[in-house]
Structure 1
């Protein structure tokens, strides 16, 4: 793609990166075939190629975002399926993130839209606040159908996504060091996350049990918090960078270079968070105080399944249950981890089935299922139909957002991959599937 940025514009590091990305696009349109919104809506502007044209025009002409750009960029799930499909290596993720920051800085949204986005940004990344908000949503949940299309269906979507019961806080949900059992084989930092530790604290518990049982010391620094992805994908860069730098400081202090006992890896058990943490080096590349540390943290970050693959877990699935493995977009497209989680489940002794149209998003996408509820629901129903066609006993995935989204459309238990692996190697039955256990 030909671009016409001025030299003055190209002096801006963000514009320089955008220019490089834009120039790689050859207009081939391969991305349209795998873009969920284009598949559903059939509008060129709701495809990656269409959005690239909108972003190019907006940035090249150095103008504020308009309603058209906001409408179609807001509809993007950031599923990154287009990046898997693209033969030219267009880094769409960095381009659309830059566009969202530009929108946030130059476009004045309607008051209600502005309020809802601020509400989500100030609740979900903070576990205590989020827990209180969910308690309120729990009381209001029975009235969700009465909300109808109020506020574009967003209020109903928020209430329906609230869990039917809020899990009690786990004893492991705390900073500290969880020692390895037996001889220590490794030492890792674990991101507890924000929404996950409230919605499904058993995921972190299972991760800690599984790692420590296999000789890995787990450290949870007190100052590590939200990975920053939620605010980052809203274009709220100041808030996102505050989260990012806090985590870099926390994990760097545990490394040998930072004066700590050393780390083999930073382990992430929510693939949406993992995609962002692995991008910390890019996000802070212009920050002289953090660029090198952030790059080092990104380089040592592993999805929990990547790290577990190095431990040679024993086989021992305690049941012959059939597992449908749903690969989260952030896992297969964001981190390019395509087969490893299913391979680990198979090695553990589970019968694993792939999901038809596995490349298409389930519609969760961070806050997307609340901000774009109609599209998200259509994608969820399509995903659930594809999953149920495999006739599984249980659904496994590596992202809390997908678990919540898919679980809202099916009676089949949905669990995290690590919960099954924990069960297969001596841990308890995942709570969601105790009725299915043999």
Structure 2
């Protein structure tokens, strides 16, 4: 695809990847349309501009100097950033990077309606901060009977918390606290700690860590996202210096962002080396367990439908890894149609695009429940909370099946 970015487009406003990288991404697209075949929103809406190829054209026009409109923004907002198109693309187009840059430019040019701006402001100011989010969730649980049904269903009940294992193993790994998962499902990280404890690995809680920044970054709050990334890097480097083997991620969405710190800070004279070291140490919990002897665990006999999050199969390219572990332990995995499609969670997409999100969730649940499994398992907190709002089966993080 031939392109030439407008001279007045400042690279600092279109992400740290820079003008040259954006031009290279645009030129890599041969407009074959294979991406549309696996795009969830294109399948639902059938509009060229609601598929990756059309959105690439929209971003190209803006980068070449055409003023962005609210309609341009609408089509970009509808994208889930699931990156299924990247898995499908024969030319290796890095669509996700292009989308983040395009959204940032469009946000600056088109602005937003007051209600949309207010909603995003609340999300940006609350969700990435675990204490604020925990307080909001606590209030929502108390007011649950007064809330509308659609919102009520999104609020999971509180669960009792067990004690973190006090391990004294020589092998040590770390885990960042994240933002929403400690309040929504504290049992996930606890299950990971117990599993690793049985394998002779101490999982250390990195207390000074922050949100990974993914939510902020995808909402064009890039500066805030990078601040949190720096906080996480600074919190973890001392542990790595002391021999910590890995930084474990139990949320695949966070894992994608954390593994990308090296690229985001590649031109930063202070953080480039530290960020690269940090990203190299980040491992999804499935990557950790794939290299361990799991003979001490046994399957419960339940049949499992596994929902592979987009951030796991398309973002981290770890498709099939948790499933292989579960099958090795003796679980029977039921077939899931169109497993590459997004469930509609996509961070806060379910709050910003509720209609499309609901359609995608309902389609995903139909595919997951078709073979009547005993349980549904996934690998990301967003997918878990989104699916369990209307699921007939219990939805759990797959690591909870091992402890």
> In the alignment, does 2:41 pair up with 1:37?
yes
Q: Counterparts of 1:306-345 in structure 2 under 5 Å? A: 306-314=287-295, 316-345=297-326
Matches of 1:159 and 1:17 in 2, distance apart? Answer: 44
- Aligned mate of 2:395, from 400, 414, 428: 414
Spell out, residue by residue over 1:219-238, the C-alpha distance to the aligned partner (whole angstroms, 9 max, x if none): 22221111001101101011
Cα 1:178/1:28, change in 2 over 3 Å: farther
> In the alignment, does 2:370 pair up with 1:389?
yes
Q: Counterparts of 1:118-133 in structure 2 under 5 Å? A: 118-133=121-136
Q: Which residue of 2 aligns with 1:179?
A: 167
Matches of 1:349 and 1:143 in 2, distance apart? Answer: 44
Q: Secondary structure at the match of 1:345?
A: helix
8 Å contact 1:178–1:208 — kept in the other structure? no
TM, length-normalised to structure 2: 0.94
Spell out, residue by residue over 1:83-123, the C-alpha distance to the aligned partner (whole angstroms, 9 max, x if none): 00000000011111112222333332111111111111111
Task: Say which is worse superposed, 222-231 or 80-89, in terms of deviation.
Answer: 222-231
Q: Which residue of 1 aligns with 2:20?
A: 16
Spell out, residue by residue over 1:12-65, the C-alpha distance to the aligned partner (whole angstroms, 9 max, x if none): 65222211111100000000010000000000000000000000111121x553
Q: Counterparts of 1:416-431 in structure 2 under 5 Å? A: 416-422=397-403
For structure 1, which runs of at least 5 residues remain unmatched after alignment?
146-155, 423-438
Q: Which residue of 1 aligns with 2:85?
A: 82
> In the alignment, does 2:357 pair up with 1:376?
yes
Task: Give the Å deviation of 1:354.
Answer: 3.3
> In the alignment, does 2:217 pair up with 1:232?
yes
Q: Counterparts of 1:76-115 in structure 2 under 5 Å? A: 76-115=79-118
Q: Counterparts of 1:115-264 in structure 2 under 5 Å? A: 115-145=118-148, 157-163=150-156, 165-168=157-160, 171-172=163-164, 178-181=166-169, 184=170, 186-256=171-241, 261-264=242-245
8 Å contact 1:363–1:380 — kept in the other structure? yes
Cα 1:382/1:72, change in 2 over 3 Å: same
> In the alignment, does 2:8 pair up with 1:2?
no
Task: Give the Å deviation of 1:376.
Answer: 0.3
Q: Which residue of 2 aligns with 1:360?
A: 341
Task: Give the Å deviation of 1:3.
Answer: 0.6
Cα 1:79/1:358, change in 2 over 3 Å: same
Matches of 2:373 and 2:117 in 1, distance apart? Answer: 41
8 Å contact 2:177–2:206 — kept in the other structure? no
8 Å contact 1:248–1:293 — kept in the other structure? yes
Spell out, residue by residue over 1:193-244, the C-alpha distance to the aligned partner (whole angstroms, 9 max, x if none): 1111111100010011111221112222221111001101101011101110
Spell out, residue by residue over 1:246-275, the C-alpha distance to the aligned partner (whole angstroms, 9 max, x if none): 00111112122xxxx122211100000001
TM, length-normalised to structure 1: 0.87
For structure 2, which runs of at least 5 residues remain unmatched after alignment?
none
Matches of 1:142 and 1:254 in 2, distance apart? Answer: 45
8 Å contact 2:25–2:98 — kept in the other structure? yes
Matches of 1:178 and 1:65 in 2, distance apart? Answer: 55
Matches of 2:193 and 2:108 in 1, distance apart? Answer: 40
Q: Secondary structure at the match of 2:240?
A: coil
